[in-house]
Structure 1
Amino acid sequence: MKARSAKAIKNVIASMIFKGGSILISLILVPMTLSYLNPYEYGIWLTLSSVLTWVYIFDIGLGNGLRNKLTEALALNDLKLAKIYVSTSFFSLLILVTTIYLLFILVQSWMNWELILNVDAQKVQNLSYIVIIVFTFFCASFVLRLIGNIYMAYQQPAINDLLSLMANIVSLVLIYLCTIFTEGSLEKVAIIYSAAPVLIFLLAYPVTFWKLKEISPSVYWVRFGYLRELMSLGIQFFIIQMACLILFMTSNLVISQMFGPESVTPYNIAFKYFSLVNTGFTIIINPIWSAITDAYVNKDLIWIRKAMKKLVLIWLGGIVLTMIMVLMSTNVYKVWIGEDIHIPFVLSVLCGFYVSIANWNNIFAYFINGVGKVRLQLYSSIISGVIFFPLAFYFGSVWEIAGILLALCVCLLPSAVWAPIQYWKIINCKATGIWFK
């Protein structure tokens, strides 16, 4: 118990440093990129990257499935099984991403990206070419990012945060050089942002498996028969990821379609500001998922109870911080990005409300994911994904951009009720039926 807690605390402290650096860089990158592009082009990039993020869900949940199964194998000290899980996941994803990329190249010529993103073709040149380049880098990072799931299974999420920090540093340096030596270019920005993570994860791959030789992927250890174990939980994670992606990633596309690409910019600036609270909370709870898996396998429910109580107290502190950020938001925006872009106060209020609900849900989602009882979460995510679009278009037509955020908040509310109930039932050994699937 003490070793698990010490490891979690150590990773939280390290993650605070690495994630803090990433946050600082991302905040600097916003005005820097805005000065290099105009709000219209910047909005296009934000929308395009959101759309292409869909590619990450096509691991069919293998990433999270590997995270849970690898944690279980390590908890039982079964390194042979761990190596099989890693090898099977890596080579299955490699086959999958190659298939996805070839299909994309085949259908790309029939896709009208100007129409999809609601872009004026006169204002942006070579959009299809930019999409192909960015998609290529997204696919390259598809398999490589599995390294992050491995570190999380080892209860070392701080290393994954370090890799993200290094990618952000590369982006910052290259964008800064572009602002000095080149004219504004959406193409250059898109390539830099999408290529930087690929470069870092490509360098991290041999280092990772030199350090973790006992589980390094090998064709010899591929056992496609084990895909069923990985996929039984993984396919549920996949559907949950898809539903969450509909909620969180398509909002940019909805805003672009309803109000134009330039409206994506203020929405994302407000979102990025309040995501500081969400990111900070994620740093704290990130080690919890795999730690809970380890504790649950070893039947250490006392440790789980204590950890969950501490997280609720931290969440309450986050509520206070969020309220302060809402009150300061107008002045913060002026200092951060200047006065050229107006962000309505109601947008800040709703962003604060959204991150508070999201953090509350994440406390219990990480527990539920850790113990692998995700069926109820699966059904709830599907329902939320289905009702988001009609709510977004209705609220958006009434309250404009703020209405999109309101729709997100409404979709999160049901989970805020049932997830704590499921936790209580499982931790007290009273869960039956859907509550224990």
Structure 2
Amino acid sequence: MTTAASAAAKGVSVITNLITVPLTLSYLGPEEYGLWIAITSIFLILGVADFGVGNGLLNMISAAHGKDDRRLVARHVSTAFGLFLIIGFSIGLLLFAVKPFISVHSFFNVPSGVSGLAVDQAIMVLVGMFAVSLPFTVILRLQEGLQEGFSNYLVQIVGNVLSLALIIGTIKMNLGLRALVFSLLAGPLFANLLGFVVQFGFRKKWARPSIAAMDKGSARTLLSTGGLFFGLTVLTVLGMQTDALIIARVNGPEAVTPFSVVQRLSQIAFLYWAFLQALWPAYGEAVARNDFDWVRKTIVRSLKLSLLFGSLFAAILFFFGGALIKIWLKESVSPSSNLLLSFSVFILTNSVVGVIAVVFNSTSLLRKQLVLLAFAAGASFILKILLCKIMGAPGAVWATVIGFTLFFIVPGLRIIRKTYWSSLTS
């Protein structure tokens, strides 16, 4: 049921994206739409601001749950909630401290017809929403760590539907860029808040965050474990989530629009990620039980299925993507063949990256993944800047493909083979 719910959540996310893109593109126009995408991409980048505590909490809850230790789970949850409150408050203070020294208009190459004040306010709304929402994400980690993925994915579905409704309302009332940013982020915030109240108020009162349950030892462990995940998140964001910002800076906001449109269409291919994500806690438990035969079989099966579905969607995107976009957006955007090809190859690349990352995240290979990501993300980031100057938006995608193939996929598969095949059979 969890896997089905995960697939449903991904499906709803894809559908809401398919509805949102033509609405917002028509409302904002190509230049301002590209600016909106660049601004909202900051939210993904801010994901590093939890310092890895969220992913560290997930692993610690999984371990405590495996021992049936509710008190330990509650201690970790309360401590993480307190850390998130401190981090969120600090982010808000930092925003107001640095705002006078940052020229947002210059950084984003804001078009002359767009108000710089509106962009400033949109970014303030975005950062403020992130700071407020951060503590409530503890409920997602709790549910995932307890392998109650169904509840997690239900929250995601509610959040996406709420965002869509708010975006439609914003466009109908012509409230502008700032309100669109708020609408996009308010849905997930309200959904997380609802899940927080339901779980801690009724279903899992024993895990409800409290000052009494906060623990220094738990905080040290969370920050120590989270430090690795923080490094991983920073590097992942650097290598894969900075495209829109770099394109806006190097090629202008208008170049972000076709990139974003093809990117949204390509995300349909990642519905299979729902199945991979569900394996995160399962790998950890299998390794703890020394069930390496299951681990090996699951890795091979995951790679085969990922490449199968990835190849299918990559072919569809390359050969029919242009026609589908014309039908979808009524010829308002016409992506180049190079952009379609780059995303098609990226789908295949990410199919393998996803499998490797889940195996590394849930087992003892986390530190090795950090090293691989450092090289892959560093190479990708540098190549993005260089290739965007040469070939425009497709350069950002090709940079990711090259960097992650050479420095993550090739060595990552070798490490997995050595760890779960060679060393266990020798």
TM-score (norm 2): 0.94
1:335 paired with 2:334, answer no
Task: Return the offset for 1:271.
Answer: 0.9
Do the aligned residues in 2 keep the contact of 1:84 with 1:221 (CA within 8 Å)?
yes
What are the superposed Cα offsets for residues 49-91 of structure 1, whole Å, 9 maximum, x if unpaired?
1124322211111111111111011011122211111111111
Residue number in structure 1 paired with 2:107:
116
Task: Return the offset for 1:265.
Answer: 0.9
Task: Return the offset for 1:121.
Answer: 5.2
Task: Return the offset for 1:184.
Answer: 6.2
1:430 pairs, out of 410, 423, 426, with 423
Stretch of structure 1 that moved more, 368-377 or 388-397: 388-397
Residue number in structure 1 paired with 2:159:
167
1:420 paired with 2:413, answer yes
1:306 paired with 2:277, answer no
Residue number in structure 1 paired with 2:227:
235
2:277 pairs, out of 282, 286, 296, with 286
2:142 pairs, out of 136, 147, 150, with 150
What are the superposed Cα offsets for residues 168-203 of structure 1, whole Å, 9 maximum, x if unpaired?
2112222223333x2361122111112221111112
Provide the rounded CA distance (Å) in 2 between the counterparts of 1:416 and 1:247: 14
Task: Return the offset for 1:103.
Answer: 1.7
What are the superposed Cα offsets for residues 17-62 of structure 1, whole Å, 9 maximum, x if unpaired?
2321221111111001112211111111110111243222111111
Residue number in structure 2 paired with 1:370:
362
Q: 1:103 to 1:394 in 2, by over 3 A?
A: closer
Give structure 1 stretches of 5+ with no counterpart.
Answer: 1-9, 432-437
Task: Return the offset for 1:305.
Answer: 2.2
Provide the rounded CA distance (Å) in 2 between the counterparts of 1:391 and 1:16: 33
Provide the rounded CA distance (Å) in 1 between the counterparts of 2:102 and 2:158: 34
What are the superposed Cα offsets for residues 107-134 of structure 1, whole Å, 9 maximum, x if unpaired?
2122211112111354224221222122
Residue number in structure 2 paired with 1:4:
none
What is the DSSP-based 3-state SS (H/G/I as helix, E as strand, rest coil) of the residue aligned with 2:423? coil
Residue number in structure 2 paired with 1:7:
none
Provide the rounded CA distance (Å) in 2 between the counterparts of 1:14 and 1:51: 28
1:106 pairs, out of 81, 97, 104, with 97
Do the aligned residues in 2 keep the contact of 1:36 with 1:184 (CA within 8 Å)?
no
Matched letter for residue 22 of structure 1? S
Mapping of 1:232-271 within 5 angstroms? 232-271=224-263
1:189 paired with 2:196, answer no
Residue number in structure 1 paired with 2:12:
21
Q: 1:215 to 1:300 in 2, by over 3 A?
A: farther
1:130 pairs, out of 96, 116, 122, with 122
1:213 pairs, out of 202, 205, 208, with 205
1:380 paired with 2:387, answer no
Do the aligned residues in 2 keep the contact of 1:43 with 1:265 (CA within 8 Å)?
yes
Do the aligned residues in 1 keep the contact of 2:170 with 2:183 (CA within 8 Å)?
no
What are the superposed Cα offsets for residues 295-354 of structure 1, whole Å, 9 maximum, x if unpaired?
222222222222222212211321233213321111111111121211012211110111
Task: Return the offset for 1:254.
Answer: 0.9
Matched letter for residue 160 of structure 2? N
Stretch of structure 1 that moved more, 315-324 or 27-36: 315-324
What are the superposed Cα offsets for residues 360-395 of structure 1, whole Å, 9 maximum, x if unpaired?
011121111111421121112122232233312222
What is the DSSP-based 3-state SS (H/G/I as helix, E as strand, rest coil) of the residue aligned with 2:174? coil
Q: 1:239 to 1:71 in 2, by over 3 A?
A: same
Do the aligned residues in 2 keep the contact of 1:157 with 1:286 (CA within 8 Å)?
no
Provide the rounded CA distance (Å) in 2 between the counterparts of 1:316 and 1:19: 18
1:393 paired with 2:366, answer no
Give structure 2 stretches of 5+ with no counterpart.
Answer: none
Do the aligned residues in 2 keep the contact of 1:70 with 1:150 (CA within 8 Å)?
yes
Provide the rounded CA distance (Å) in 1 between the counterparts of 2:33 and 2:190: 23
Do the aligned residues in 2 keep the contact of 1:134 with 1:190 (CA within 8 Å)?
yes
Stretch of structure 1 that moved more, 264-273 or 313-322: 313-322
Matched letter for residue 216 of structure 2? F
What is the DSSP-based 3-state SS (H/G/I as helix, E as strand, rest coil) of the residue aligned with 1:109? helix
Provide the rounded CA distance (Å) in 1 between the counterparts of 2:100 and 2:187: 27
How many residues align structurally?
420
Matched letter for residue 70 of structure 2? L
Provide the rounded CA distance (Å) in 2 between the counterparts of 1:51 and 1:27: 21
Do the aligned residues in 2 keep the contact of 1:233 with 1:372 (CA within 8 Å)?
no
Provide the rounded CA distance (Å) in 2 between the counterparts of 1:179 and 1:82: 43
Residue number in structure 2 paired with 1:3:
none
Residue number in structure 2 paired with 1:203:
194
Provide the rounded CA distance (Å) in 1 between the counterparts of 2:222 and 2:174: 48
Do the aligned residues in 1 keep the contact of 2:140 with 2:152 (CA within 8 Å)?
yes
Mapping of 1:45-56 within 5 angstroms? 45-56=36-47
RMSD after superposition: 1.7
Do the aligned residues in 2 keep the contact of 1:72 with 1:297 (CA within 8 Å)?
no
Do the aligned residues in 2 keep the contact of 1:18 with 1:158 (CA within 8 Å)?
no
Matched letter for residue 90 of structure 1? F
Do the aligned residues in 1 keep the contact of 2:79 with 2:219 (CA within 8 Å)?
yes
Task: Return the offset for 1:221.
Answer: 1.0
TM-score (norm 1): 0.92
Provide the rounded CA distance (Å) in 2 between the counterparts of 1:121 and 1:316: 44
Matched letter for residue 137 of structure 1? M
**Residue identity (%):** 25
Matched letter for residue 363 of structure 2? V
Matched letter for residue 231 of structure 1? L
Provide the rounded CA distance (Å) in 2 between the counterparts of 1:266 and 1:344: 8
Do the aligned residues in 2 keep the contact of 1:274 with 1:355 (CA within 8 Å)?
yes
